[in-house]
Structure 1
Amino acid sequence: MQIFTSLSSYLQNLPLKKKMMTLITTLFLFFCIVMLVCTSILCNAYNQELYQSYSSQMTKVASGIQASMENIEDTSFSILSNTVIQKNLSKLNSMDINAPENLQTSANCLSEIYKTLHSIVSSLTIIRAIGFDINGRSLTRGLFYPNHLDMDNLNEKAIALKGVAFWYPEQSETYRLYCIREIREINYLKLRNLATLYIEVNFFTLVTDALKNAGYQDNENNLFLLTDGAEIIYSSKDISGSASLQDPSFILDLTENNRSYVIRTIDHRKKFIAVGNIPATGWNYIYLSDYNTIFSAVTFAQSICLLVFFLTTLSAVLGSSCILGHIIWHFRILETKMNRFGTGDLTPLQVPYDYTQRQDEIGHLHVQFDQMVLHFKELVNDNYVKQILLQETQIQALQQQMNPHFLYNTLDSICWMAQKDHDEQICTMAQSLANLFRASITDSKELIPIRSELQFLDSYIQIQKLRFEERLDFKQQISEQYMNIMIPRLCIQPLVENAIHHAMEDNPEVCTIQLEMLRKNDVYQIQVMNTGSFFEEHLLEKLLNGKIVPSGIGIGLSNIDKRFKLIYGEAFGLTLSNKNGMAVVALTLPVS
C-alpha cells in the first residue's frame, strides 16, 4: 500500500508532458504484450489443429492394424473349423507320424491340409508362414522357424485359453508377430486337442499397409514409429543416424508422460511429435513431422511484429512528444498570464498567437481567461470610480449634517413659542415633525425593531390626526410579543400614508385604518387595512411591469416590495388585495 501511495504521488507530481508520455508508452507496451499473447494463442491453436489432423490419421492407422489382426484371427478360426483340416489333423494325431509305416499316410494328410490352407490364405499377403504343433512335432508351411519359440509354454497357454486366439511378439533380431490358438476336434463334439496353430504375420507389411490405407505420405519430413515399451518395433525410415531416437529414455519420456503432442529439437531441427496408443496391442505410435520451417516462420513473424511495434512505439513516442510539446507551450503561456494576474498586472500579455481563431479547449481557455481579466479590470475601474463617488458623497453628507441642527433648533423654537401661547396643536405638530425628521435622517441602520418603527409611525399619526381630527380612526393592534422582531426601517409608515392618501384626501367620511401582525406557519405577516378605498386588480404587477407609471405613493409601494425581495428573497414582499370592504396591504417576511 505504501509503495502504491508513493507511486501515485510521484505520478501526480510529474509534469503533464511526462504523464502523457508515460501513458502512451504504457499503452503501447500493453498492446505489445497483448500481441505476443495473441500470437502464442494462435500458435497453440495451430498446433492443436495440427495434432488433430495427425491424430485422425494415426487413429486410422491404429484401426487398420487392429482390423488386419482381427482378420488374421478370423482366418485362424476358418482354419481350425475346416472339415478337411479337422479330418487330417485327427488322423495325424491318432498315429505315430514318425513311424516308417505311417510316413506315406502322414504325407498325404499334410498334402491335403496344405491344399486347403492355400485356398483359405492365398489372398492374405500379410501371412508369412503357418505351422502346426502336433504332440510336440512341428509341421510348417512357409518361412516358419519354430526353433526360435518356446513351444512348450506357448502350447500350454493355448490349451489354457481353450481355443481363444492370442498374439505373441517375438523380439529377436527382427520383430516377429504370431497369432496362436488351440485346435480342438469338433466331430461329435469330442473337443480333444488336435494341434496348436501358429500364424506368423509379416509385421512390416501389416504396418505399411495400414499407413498406406490411412493416407500417410512417406517423405523426408515425416517419420512414423511403433514402440513396444522403450523398444522401437517399426520405423518408416532408417533412424540409425539419430542419437535421440536411439535413446530408450527419450522414447519413454515421449510415451509415458500422457502428452498428446510435444515440440522437440531432434538432430538440430524442430519436430512436431504426436503420441498415441493402440489399445488392442498396447503399442505406442510416435508421429514426427518437420516443424522447423513452421517454427522459423512463426519466430520470424514474431520478430517482425516486435520490430514493427518497437518502431511504431518509437514513432508514436516521438510524434506524441512533439505534439505534446506544442500543446504544453500554450499552457505555459496561460500559466504566465495567470502569474501576471496573481501579481496584479492586468495589462494584456503580448503573444505571437491569435487564440480567438481556435475552436478547441486551448483556445476557449485562453479566450475565457482574457475575457475574465478584462472583466475584472472593468470591475476594478468601476469600483475605483464608485469609491471616489462614495468619498465625495460622504464629504457632502458630512457637510450637510450641520443643516439638520438648524432645522431641529427652529422646530424647537416653534414648539416653545406655541407652549408660551398655550397652542397645544402647533406644539404637538412641531414636536412630531421634529421626531419624524430626526428618525429619517439620523438612523442609518437597515433593520430596526418593530417597536422603533411604531414610534416613528406614532409621530406621523399625531400629525395626521391634527389634520383630519375625528375623521381618522387608527387602530394599532400588534401584540407585544412581536415588538422586538427586526424589519426594514420605514416600511410600515408608507403603507399607512398610502391608506390615508387614497381613503381620506377626497372622501369626507370617517376612515378606519387597522394595523395588525400575525404568524402563519414560518411566515410573519404585517397587514394595513383601511376603509374608503380599494385596489385595482393586479395593481402591484402592473406597477412592477411598467403598465402603470408609478408616482408619489406608488413609487413607495414598489420600493418596499423590492427591498423585501432583496433582503428576504423572491417568496416574500408586498401583496395587495380587497377583503370585507377594506383595502388590504400585506407585508410578508420569514420567521427565521
Structure 2
Amino acid sequence: MKVSAIIDAYRHMNIRNKLSLLLTSVVLVSLAFTIAVQRYAFSLYDGQIYEKSSRVLNLSSTAIETELKRLEQLSYNLVADAQIQKWLTSLKDNPSGYDTLLVRQQLTDRLFSYSGSESYVYSIQIFDAGGGEHAGGNIRPFSLGKFKEITRIANEAQGENRWIFPDSSDDALIAAREIRSFTNTQFDLRNLGTLVLRINLKRIAHDLASGEGDLMIVSEEGVIYADKPTPNLENLPLSTGKQRGYVITELGGEQYFVAYRRSPDSGWTYLNLTPFRQIFEQILFIKELVVFVFVGIFLVVIVLVLRFSRNITHPIYDLIGRMKLAEKGNFEEANFAPAGEGPVVMNEIGLLQRTFRLMIERINRLIKENYSNRLLIKETEFKALQAQINPHFLYNTLESINWMAKVNKQDRISTMVEALAFLLRQSVDMKRPMITLEEELDIVRSYVTIQTIRFEERLDFRMDVPERFFRLALPKLTLQPLLENAIHYALEPTIEPCRITLRAWETDSDIRLAVEDTGPGIPAGTLERLKSGELLTKGKGIGLLNIDERIKIAFGEEYGIRLENTEGGGARVILALPRDKEE
C-alpha cells in the first residue's frame, strides 16, 4: 500500500478513529521507547555483573591452576628424587630378598612424609617395575581396569605428567607420571615404575575459588569438577573460540548466568554458573512490574481515549443527524431533544448545537406562519368562490343547456357547453393539486375547443407532445393559463390569424414544455418585474408568477418559467420540469 494512500485514508478518517489512533500511537511509542531503554540498562547491568564475575573467575582459576602446577612440580620432584630413583632401581634389579623388604619400607616411609605435608593430596602411590605398590596417605585401591588405564596413559606420556579426571569410582584428580632412570651414574631412561598422585580437587576449589555461583571445570574430554551435579552441557559455551565471555542460557530447566574463561596453559575451561533468578530476582520483579504498569496504563489510556473521542464526536454525530432531518424537511424532530439528555455543555460544539437548534426553531416557526397564512388565503379565496357560484346548480344548468342544444341539433353549442362543464369541474376540484400531463392536456383540449368556436379560423392551435411524457407530474392548471395568456395578449388585440403551439422535448437535465405564439412578443424582464412588484398584471385568472411559484414549491428552485421571444417576433413561455417526477 502506497504511503500517499495511507495518508489519504488517515485524512478522510472520522475524528473519533483519528483521535484514538493518534493517542494510541503515542502511548505505544512511549512504551517501546521505555522498553528499549530498560533493555539497554539491563544489558549494561549484565556487563557489569560479567566484569565482576570475570575478575572473580580469573582469580579463582589462576589460584587453582597455580596450586595444580605446584602439585605437578611435586610429582616431578618425586620422580627426580635421587633416593627414590635408587630404591626403584634396586627393586628392579633385585626384586626379592631381605634388602628388598627394607627398601620397600624406606620407600613407603618417604611417600608418607611427602603426603603428610600436602593438605590437597589424598595419597601418593608408586607402582614399581615389578608391579609392587608403595603408597602413603589416604589410600584407595584401584580396580584392575583403572590401574591398567593409568599405567597406559603414563607410559604414553614418556615421563611427562598426565591428568586423569575424576569418575564415578574415584572423585580424586589423578596426576600420573612414568618414572624413568636418570641418576648421575646411570642415565639409561629405563622404566622404573609409575607415580600416581590422588589430588583432592574439591578442597582446592573450595579453598581457592571465591565469589558467588557454582564453579565448574571442563575439558574436551568432559567435566573435571563441578560444585553441583553436572547440568546439560549442550548449552554451555565449550566450543566457542573466545577465551572469555558470558552467556545467559538454560541448564536443567533453569536459566543461568554463565561466565567462562579458557586457560591458555591447561586448555581447561573454568565456568562460574549463577542462577539467573538469584542475581536478577529484584531486577526481574522491577521489569515485570514496569511491563504490567505500562500495560495497565495503556489499557486505561485506551479507555480514556475512547471516552474522550466519544465525548467529542457524539455531539457532532447528533448534530449531523439533526441536519439530515432538517434537510428532509423534518424540522420538528430535528429540534427535538431526547428524553434524559442533560444540559448542553457550553463548549465550541455545544454552542454550535445551540445555534443550530435556534436556527431550526426560527425556520420552523417561519414555515408554519407562512403555511398558515397561505392556507388562510386559499381558504378565503375558495370560500369566496363558493359564495359566488354554487357548483351543483351551475353543472345542472349547463347540462340542461347541453340537452336543449342537442334536441335542437346545435352541435357547436353542445360541444362548447360540454367543454365548459369539464373546465369548471377541473377548476373547482382541488382534491388533487398534482395531476399527470395527460390529464392537463385534456383540460387544454376543452379550453381550446371553446376558444376555437369563439375565434374560428383566427385561432390556429397545434400540439406536439410525445406520448412518453404523458405520465409526467405537474401542478394542476399549469398549461391552460399559459394558453389563456397567449390568446389574451397575442390573438385578441389583432384581427389576423394567430398560431399557438404547445410542444414538449427532453434535455440532459430536465423536460421542457413550451407555449409559443405568433403575436407581438413579450417585453424583456417581464417575469423579473412581476416578481419584484414593479409590474402589475391586468388579467383576472392565474398569472405567470403564480405558476412559477407553484412549480418551484413542488420541484425546487432550479425549475420554473422562462420567457423569451421567438425569431418571428412572437412570444415563447417555457416550463422546466424534472425528468424523474411521475404521478
The TM-score, its normalising length taken from structure 1, stands at: 0.49
Query: What is the TM-score of this pair, normalised by structure 2?
Result: 0.50
